[in-house]
Amino acid sequence: DTAVSQTPKYLVTQMGNDKSIKCEQNLGHDTMYWYKQDSKKFLKIMFSYNNKELIINETVPNRFSPKSPDKAHLNLHINSLELGDSAVYFCASSQAPYEQYFGPGTRLTVT
């Protein structure tokens, strides 16, 4: 069983489009996260949700909007995509404050 899954694995889209990335965890964790890894491999936290409530919102453009319908899901919606949004996006979960489990990543390419 996959602990943290993301869909899609690859996403290629044009500038200006709106897209969503989905994340699901079956570990029963209460906290979920979104990270962005840029081309230089720097991994930066974007958002964190605890029991469906936003607890971390780093300096991220408001074109990015996380949605947590329940504890097991944290989706990332991105409006008006820009070239600079191209990156690998990782979802993670944890039973805070313990170790985080990461998904396989979604490689987003904006053309």
Partner 1 sequence: DAKTTQPNSMESNEEEPVHLPCNHSTISGTDYIHWYRQLPSQGPEYVIHGLTSNVNNRMASLAIAEDRKSSTLILHRATLRDAAVYYCILRDNTGNQFYFGTGTSLTVIP
Q: Which parts of this chain interact with partner 1 (CB under 8 A)?
A: 4, 31, 33, 35, 41-45, 48, 50, 55-56, 90, 92, 94, 96-105
Cβ closest to partner 1, residue 8 vs residue 16: 8
Cβ closest to partner 1, residue 28 vs residue 79: 28
Task: Report phi then psi at 95, rounded to 5.
Answer: -95, 85
Least separation, in Å, of the C-beta of 95 and partner 1? 9
